[in-house]
Structure 1
Amino acid sequence: MSELTLIKTHPGELSFPLFEAVLENVYEADSLRLKQTESVNQSFLVECWIVMRNDVPLARLAIYNNPQLRFQEQQAGCIGNYECENDPETARFILQKAFERLKELEISYVIGPMNGSTWDNYRFSTHHNAAPFLLEPHHHLYYNDQFIENGFEVISNYTSSFDTSLPHDLPELLERERYFSALGVVIRSIDLTRFDKELESLYPFILAAFQTNFLYTPIDWESFRDKYREALKIIDPDFVLIAEDAHKQPIGFVFAYQNLYCTTEKQLVIKTIARSYDKQWSGLGHVIANQVIRNAGQHGFSALIHAFMIRQATSTEISRNFSGEVYKNYALYGRSL
């Protein structure tokens, strides 16, 4: 077999198109992956790597060093934007060299796949038993094996749940909704006519609401704003709701959108549910979820997808309370260096 060679590059350099060209060589021409976009997180990027054989790019990854990312009290680096041909030798070549590079950076633990932080793409699907949904990254399942064969272990499991009953307005939820309303809480749609102002108000709230999440690291305002601006084309205000207290301060948020991949029925993907950790707002996440499900029923939706929930997280509890059944699984990997 021909010798493997390594090219190091960055976005904007003359060799960077080879990083993108890997996709065309490891996926079939009609693959969903070729229709999806995935950015390189330049905030934490060290280098992008490409593996070549006979001048053909057959594997790639990006090495990230997020100084605030820690796992079990260790500084953790990331391997993300991973793509590789179905060949153990190629995978071993690029991954082992990445481990060496991370050790040069005095990083003792590596997490993958993760594009620098949990604000960006991370996790591998562990099966393709169900149709993909919008914003769910698509990739070869053998990537899981390539990681495991190179010393990675699962450090966290995630699920997506599917629900066709759309249960809502249970008596206890309506009672809790009335309770919050009496305290001056208002649940409203996001205002797209003042979108950036809405984001400015949400930014500190969401950072505070997410700070106890597994592997959380903060994101700067500009990156936060840009991520939601990118999502603007799929936002329907009926499914992006903000809960505000009597002082008009955000205390809850839900982000949901239509699964445009599905053409046989209207499916709503619930991606984010967050609430203030103040004990007086206990149950608010369920109330906001109830309202978005109510809205979905009124707009002719027949199914819900509760997306990317870490097992045993609050969002998993919310999905279970609304009759979601797990139908997809994902894994995040890590290993010591």
Structure 2
Amino acid sequence: MTTHIIRTEGAKLTVYLEGPEWEGAPSATLGDFSCETPEAGREVLRRAIEHIRDAGGDRVIGPMSGDTWHSYRVVSESDGSAAFLMEPTHKPHEAELFRAAGFSVISKYFSARVALAQTAQASPAASEAFEIEAWDGRNPEALFRQVYALSVEAFSRNAFYKPISESDFLAMYMPVVPMLKRELIFFARRPDGSLAGFLFGIPNYAEGPNPSAAILKTYASLERGAGRHLASHFHKSALQLGFETAIHALIHDDNQSAERSVAEGATVFRRYELLGLRLDG
């Protein structure tokens, strides 16, 4: 991926010229953004946009470190609580700097929390289309190879999707293996043994070595209802492990899982935005 790091006094960001498609056209993305002052932020954004324009680009997405497999989104609203593990974090003025540079919202997301004593009580009706099984804790590389294969299929229709190689995917996720808790990772399997869905949960180690919250980080399914069953098993297992709260992390506002999170009584504590700029407009 072609990248260009721009540093000014008090600010930096990375320009990724080969980002995902937006509105059917290729885009560049701006990621790894930080600034000490609004003035420094405005200047580094100006230089980045100029670099993209000089390279022939006419669509810019940010904040996004190249694609949706990596860090993206900016915090737009918060209750002030501490960031959870692997959550994007930005200073309050950074979203305003993007807007001042001409960016507008192109996608919205949220994170919510729910008491496990509340949500772990419900159980969806059994399905003949699949069964849920917990990860056995063995061969983590095989685990992530399965997660990669299903993710590519399940997420390929999502907005801003861009393919990633299996080797790059493994390089991202294998370092987190020491933090995994097998009781928070589940598969949905069809009667023939093929994978119908997965759920990847992890303790919120941002709280310290003995966190009270478990994060429902990512799940995907190819069978109707599998996501609900996976979430139910995650909530019940997290409660049995002694966790008090589940964090439903980084959900797209229009995703079916957003409706499910609301139905389970979760309370939104953070909102995020992805921003876009058309240079031909």
Picking from 148, 151, 162, the partner of 2:102 is: 151
1:247-287 Cα deviation digits (max 9, x unpaired): 221111101111123368611111111101xxxx2111001
1:50 paired residue number: 7
**Percent identity of equivalent pairs:** 26
Q: Distance in 1 between matches of 2:132 and 2:38?
A: 52
Distance in 1 (alpha carbons) for counterparts of 2:176 and 2:151: 16
1:70 correspondence with 2:21: yes
- Residue 170 of structure 1: CA displacement? 2.8
Partner residue in 1 for 2:91: 140
| 2:64 pairs with 1:114 | yes
Q: Confirm whether residue 286 of structure 1 aligns to residue 237 of structure 2.
A: no
Find the residue that maps to 1:49 and give its secondary structure.
strand
Deviation sequence 1:195-214 (CA, Å, 0-9, x none) = 21222233221100111222
The Cα shift of 1:65 comes to 2.0
Larger Rg: 1
2:243 — aligned with what?
A: 301
CA distance in 2, matches of 1:161, 1:268: 12
Give the match for residue 269 of structure 1: 215
Deviation track 1:30-89 (CA, whole Å, cap 9, x = no partner) reads xxxxxxxxxxxxxx242111113xxxxx1101010225x11112221101000112132x
Deviation at 1:169, TM superposition (A): 4.8
Alignment map for 1:148-297 (pairs within 5 Å) = 148-164=99-115, 165-170=117-122, 173=124, 175=125, 178-180=126-128, 183=129, 185-262=130-207, 266-276=212-222, 281-297=223-239
TM-superposed deviation, 1:194:
1.4
Contact between 2:132 and 2:229, CA under 8 Å: does it hold in 1?
no
Per-residue displacement from partner, 1:279-325 (whole Å, max 9, x unpaired)?
A: xx211100110011010111111111100011021221221232211
**Looking at both structures, which has the greater relative contact order when contacts are Cα pairs under 8 Å and sequence separation is at least 6?**
2
After superposing on structure 2, the runs of 4+ consecutive aligned residues of structure 1 that deviate more than 4 Å are none
Which residue identity is paired with 1:317? E
State the alpha-carbon separation in 1 of the partners of residues 206 and 43 from structure 2.
Answer: 36
Return 322-331 or 116-125, whichever deviates more. 322-331
- Using structure 1 for the length normalisation, give the TM-score: 0.77
Determine the C-alpha separation between the residues in 2 that align with 1:204 and 1:261: 29
Residues 135, 185 of structure 2: 8 Å contact kept: yes
Identify which range, 158-167 or 327-336, moves more after superposition. Answer: 158-167
1:320 is the counterpart of 2:262: yes
Query: In angstroms, what is the RMSD of aligned CA positions?
Result: 1.8
The aligned amino acid for 1:186 is E
Contact 1:186-1:243 within 8 A present in 2 as well = yes
TM-score if structure 2 supplies the norm length?
Answer: 0.92
| Alpha-carbon displacement from aligned partner over 1:105-140 (angstroms, at most 9, x marks no partner) | 221110000000000001111244222211113221
Tell me how far apart the structure 1 counterparts of residues 122 and 138 of structure 2 sit (CA, whole Å).
33
Residue ranges of structure 2 left out of the alignment (5+ in a row):
none
The question of 1:60 aligning with 2:31 is answered no
What are the residue-to-residue correspondences of 1:81-92 with 2, within 5 Å?
81-88=32-39, 90-92=40-42
Read off the aligned partner of 1:63 and give its amino acid letter.
V
Q: Is the 8 A contact 1:256 1:270 kept in 2?
A: yes
Tell me, in whole angstroms, the C-alpha distance in 1 between the residues paired with 2:191 and 2:141.
Answer: 22
Aligned residue type for 2:184: F
Structure 1: any 5+ residue segments left out of the alignment? 1-43, 53-57
